[in-house]
Amino acid sequence: MVMRFRLERILMEDRPILQPFDEAAWAADRWTDRDALTDLLKDFRVQRQASVAILDRLTEVQWMRETTEAEFGTFDLLWWVEQWAAHDRVYVDQLQRLLPGPSTEVA
């Protein structure tokens, strides 16, 4: 959800400044009642499908929209989405190594 919220900000605001995401604080305070693997994977899939639906409709001009983040400086949406995809791939690869069976496959 965080990534899609950032995507929407980049598309709606002129050169937004993205704040660093505190993963430790989020993990400490999040609701954990739905932490079964199947629920987590379903949630991940739903979030990414919603994001891909937005990305599929972007124009060339929208792909070049710029944003800034203290950690990375100023960059365009295309670069950011490439980083996002690489970030997701790291987590999917970890799941596939750590968990048995086809249930870890993420579309």
In this predicted structure, what is the pLDDT of residue 53? 96
CA distance 77 to 28: 30
pLDDT score recorded for residue 101: 64
Q: Taking 80 as the threshold, does the pLDDT of residue 99 lie above it?
A: no
* pLDDT reading at 13 higher than 60: yes
Provide the residue ranges of all domains of the chain, joining segments of one domain with +. 1-20+41-73+89-107
**Cα–Cα distance, 92 to 95 (Å, whole number):** 5
76 strand-pairing partners: 66
Q: What is the DSSP string of 72-107?
A: TEEEEHHHHHHHHHHHHHHHHHHHHHHS-SGGG---
pLDDT tens per residue, range 21-63: 887 887 788 777 767 878 888 888 899 999 999 999 999 999 9
